[in-house]
Structure 1
Amino acid sequence: MATTRITRTAAVVAVGAMSAFGLAACSSADTGNGSGGNTAEGESITIEYMHRLDNGADMATVAEITERWNEEHPDIQVKTTKFDGAATDMILKLETDVKAGNAPCLAQVGYSEAPQLYVKGLLEDVTTEAEKYADNFSGGAYAGMRVGDVVVGLPQDVGPLVYFYNAAEFEALGLDAPANIEELTADSVTAAVAGKYLTAFSPDEATHWLAAQSAAAGDTWFSTEGDEWVVNAEGEGSQTVAAFWQNLLDTNQTLKADRWGEPFTIALNDGSLIGHIGAAWEAGFLLDSLDGTPAEGQWRIAQLPDFGAGAMTGPDGGSGVAVLKGCEYPAEAMEYNNWFNTQIDDLSSQGLVVAAEGTPETSEKMLRQFGDQDVLAELATATANMNPDFPYAPGFSTLAAMNETAAAVVAGDAQVADIFTTAQQTAVKALTDLGLPVAE
């Protein structure tokens, strides 16, 4: 369907809501598009980067990666700080630090969090600097750091939807990886006869998971007309997604289980669940419980079946590195931001599906679990195929209400289409509550 890219006007409208949060003057230095902050010749500066990435064994840690940068850039030193709490707690800390004028220059933020952080006056507009590096990242990932035409940082990792499947079980049933949802629907009938499921419907993941499927079907949920936001969570793509899942639920041909609940893992381990539409980042741990079992090495990854828009997938999770309001050296911060997020082998060792162009080397663990498949090459293809016109809007976090409706669907008290109605109504209310005009 035709979509309208969010204009700079919408971003200006969003900024107008800052006064509602008392954050209109939350920085000690407003450097606009990142054109200021250059150091004088011979001077050294220090930039701080706060993140939530792991420091586990066999990983290249953020500190280790950054040490190389510091050795190569004596005039732009970077100090890294790991935040050990939840993502929501880190956001609260950043808000407090921005108000106090002592926030780091750079911070890891989720794509769906970035628009509201910008509306609240916590992020810089670094569009001019970001455009220098845009070609280093996939279009869909780069769009994740946009708020309207404003860019607030650079992407780091992504979660394009892909299809996981047990190749041995598929072969035994005479099936191939489904190329589209019509094939997946037909194959689900064959699998059900054998007591197998090719998919799982997971209410606890409905928000991002179903939104990503709408994106894969070609929808854009948030755009603008003039000065108003337009919300379209019940478009043709969403209708396609709803009909697909409603059929599988009505015929009991999909596993009904929360993604992070025990029944999902039990079905995976006992071999009744042999297919799964999931985020690319699940590749790092989805099959851990099958290690040492006869199913080890049987699974593969394929591109998401076509939901009607061709070779396109949607974003389910991921994060970028944003420049916080008051950063004194935005140009230098973005230079490091680009460098760090293009260290694809190092970031891949963290278990991330990197947003930068290029294909890192697949780990020994993934090769073992996925039968020597070049998993990261497959995920790189999915990253390149993400819908480039599926930005989030301020207040997206409130769409968690979709999960409640999805639970009602499983209980038989609602229809799948009702989940998208919940998304539509909740998104409109969220934008309105933020003081942003929404088109009728």
Structure 2
Amino acid sequence: MASTSRITRTAAVVAVGALSAFGLAACSSDAGDAPTSGDPVTIEYMHRLPDGEGMTAVNDIVKRWNDENPNIQVKATKFDGNAPDMILKLETDVKAGNAPCLAQTGYAEVPQLFVKGLLEDVAGEAKKYEENYSAGAFSGMRVGDAVVGLPQDVGPLVYFYNETAFGELGLDAPATLADLTADSATAAAAGKYVTAFTPDEAHNWLAAQSAAAGDTWFGTEGDAWSVNAEGEGSERVAAFWQGLLDNKQTLSTERWGEGFTAALNNGSLIGHIGAAWEAGFLLDSLDGTPAEGQWRVAQLPDFGAGALSGPDGGSGVSVLKGCENPAEAMEFNNWFNTQIDDLASQGLVVAATGAVETPEKMARQFGGQDVMSELATATANMNPDFPYAPGFSTLSKMNETAAAATTGGAKVADIFTTAQNTAVSSLKDLGLPVAE
């Protein structure tokens, strides 16, 4: 966990930045007054959960709450657009004074939303529920010593692999980067790949690998933000992928392009470093094929920092600025995010602790493995000291450099240089002090 002194310093930097950049004071802790009348409190909650076929619908979960809590009634609204569009809507609504009390927000979005004065600091309320969540997930809702809500789902990196294909090559699930490097050579000699280098995912994917290697990209020095995206962990990650690219021992393809799925289907791709949430759909194209049930999930190989993973995606439920009943909102927030089987049915890797039943589809696709138990271990192993900084979304420029690295136009290390330079520029553009 981050030290108390670091947390306090970061809070001060955020507050200074908010004042200087936006003319907004930092949000006060547990703002809002408790209702004084006997009328029920109404809490609005906006989300982007899929609510797909076979899932426990959000409205059905909320109805259970409403039936059991007549004094705190919740109205859930599904936003059907993408995440950036929802953020824009929330910003507009907060400024107009008609925002919902609760809304789903990605962890990487939280710091900038807080700096913009769009989120409440509900640290006092959040403390009541902190023990219900993994440390790494809970840290995603922190901005310095402020806490803006509660975590909902997480995306720790894990390793997916075709156990049958590995066995045919005499391989086991890799425990270390050295193992994965050796396995890559063995597989490539047989025309197969145990990893895919995916430039369109470089932003979050490689940042998460740096976290798994023990790095912390953002911190503070005095009253300024510090940025270190080129630490020892990043160097190990870069050297690993550069070696595979140079030796043509990794599949170089976009994660969300046709090439990835084609390689999965034809059996040439037999391993993949991916986010835990991919378990819900990664193997869909193999249903009904001989490869159905051959894949497994394992912990991420040791990137040099022990049993550690890094965060790739995930979101929490934040309390928005202007919420009149934050205590009641947080009471529901905690209840909702601890309905772990219901949320797992939505395809989420839940942030709350507790045993989660592996959905039937997932169990079938992974050969009966207790996938959710494996993902829970990865969640518990997430680096708890990898906070995001305001403007983190601009680091998507890493993807452009990663694409160049696949053709020899750049080195993998250059991707982390891009992250470093872009992060510093973005913080400055937001009017935040940066130590250099």
Residue 11 of structure 1 deviates from its aligned partner by 2.6
Q: Does 1:202 align with 2:198?
A: yes
Segments of 4+ moved more than 6 angstroms: 2-5
Q: How does 1:160-199 map to 2 (within 5 A)?
A: 160-199=156-195
Q: Aligned AA for 1:302? A: A
Contact 1:313 1:387 in 2 (8 A): yes
Residue 130 of structure 1 deviates from its aligned partner by 0.7
Match of 1:308 in 2: 304
Match of 1:159 in 2: 155
Once the two structures are superposed, residues 225-263 of structure 1 have per-residue CA deviations (whole angstroms, 9 ceiling, x without a partner) of 221111110000000000000000000000000000111
Q: Percent identity?
A: 73
Q: How many residues were matched structurally? A: 435
What root-mean-square deviation, in Å, do the aligned CA atoms of Structure 1 and Structure 2 show? 1.6
Q: Aligned AA for 2:221? A: E
Contact 1:214 1:238 in 2 (8 A): yes
Contact 1:23 1:120 in 2 (8 A): no
Residue 309 of structure 1 deviates from its aligned partner by 0.7
User: Where does the alignment leave 5 or more consecutive residues of structure 1 unmatched?
Assistant: none
Q: How does 1:364-375 map to 2 (within 5 A)?
A: 364-375=360-371
Give distance in 2, aligned partners of 1:358 and 1:130. Answer: 18
User: Where does the alignment leave 5 or more consecutive residues of structure 2 unmatched?
Assistant: none
Match of 2:244 in 1: 248
Q: Pick closer, same or farther for the CA change 1:170–1:320 going to 2, 3 Å.
A: same
2:294 paired residue among 295, 298, 316: 298
Match of 1:361 in 2: 357
Q: What secondary structure sits across from 1:113 in the alignment?
A: helix
Residue 21 of structure 1 deviates from its aligned partner by 6.3
Give distance in 2, aligned partners of 1:68 and 1:21. Answer: 43
Contact 1:284 1:351 in 2 (8 A): yes
Once the two structures are superposed, residues 313-341 of structure 1 have per-residue CA deviations (whole angstroms, 9 ceiling, x without a partner) of 00000000000001101111111111100
Q: What secondary structure sits across from 2:313 in the alignment?
A: strand
Contact 2:21 2:430 in 1 (8 A): no
Match of 2:344 in 1: 348
Q: Aligned AA for 1:246? A: Q
Contact 2:94 2:321 in 1 (8 A): yes
Q: Does 1:97 align with 2:93?
A: yes
Q: Aligned AA for 2:292? A: E
Residue 17 of structure 1 deviates from its aligned partner by 3.5
Range moving further from structure 2, 8-17 or 283-292 = 8-17
Q: How does 1:17-416 map to 2 (within 5 A)?
A: 17-18=17-18, 24=24, 32-34=28-30, 36-40=32-36, 42-416=38-412
Q: Aligned AA for 1:13? A: V
Contact 1:17 1:120 in 2 (8 A): no
Give distance in 2, aligned partners of 1:128 and 1:9. Answer: 19
Q: What secondary structure sits across from 1:175 in the alignment?
A: coil
Residue 171 of structure 1 deviates from its aligned partner by 0.4
TM-score (norm 1): 0.96
Give distance in 2, aligned partners of 1:13 and 1:244. Answer: 35
Range moving further from structure 2, 67-76 or 159-168 = 67-76
Once the two structures are superposed, residues 92-111 of structure 1 have per-residue CA deviations (whole angstroms, 9 ceiling, x without a partner) of 11000000011000000000
Give distance in 2, aligned partners of 1:31 and 1:66. Answer: 28
Q: Aligned AA for 1:150? A: A
Contact 1:4 1:223 in 2 (8 A): no
Once the two structures are superposed, residues 157-179 of structure 1 have per-residue CA deviations (whole angstroms, 9 ceiling, x without a partner) of 00000000000000000000000
Residue 12 of structure 1 deviates from its aligned partner by 3.4
Contact 1:111 1:144 in 2 (8 A): yes
Give distance in 2, aligned partners of 1:4 and 1:219. Answer: 18
TM-score (norm 2): 0.97
